Amino acid sequence: MTLYARVVNSNEYMHSATVGKVTNEQIVYIFDNADVNLRATSGAPVINQQYELIGINLAGGELGNGKIIGFANPVQSIIDNLKK
């Protein structure tokens, strides 16, 4: 599965990523472009290939192998918590 995360401090607003893991609590993904700068991207939308909002970017950083990882809160988890 490929998704896209909006990176606001980049010349490109959408960056593709490959999903590594999905749980009820988080979506973990690896950016296809290892040069993505994730500064100030918390709260950015994460969308799927159909341009549907699937998560909100929470955090990210560099992996030891030169790749960039991202973490998002799934939209359904956010909705469920708002209902409580």
CA distance 54 to 35: 23
CA distance 43 to 59: 9
Name the pLDDT band for 4 (thresholds 50, 70, 90).
low
Residue 3: closest CA among 77, 64, 72, 66: 72
Condensed to tens digits (0 to 9), the pLDDT of residues 8-65 reads 555 556 778 889 999 999 999 998 888 877 777 788 888 888 888 899 989 888 988 8
Helices (H), the chain: 75-83
CA distance 67 to 79: 31
Across the chain, mean pLDDT equals 83
Residue 40: closest CA among 16, 19, 57: 57
* 3-class secondary-structure state, position 27: strand
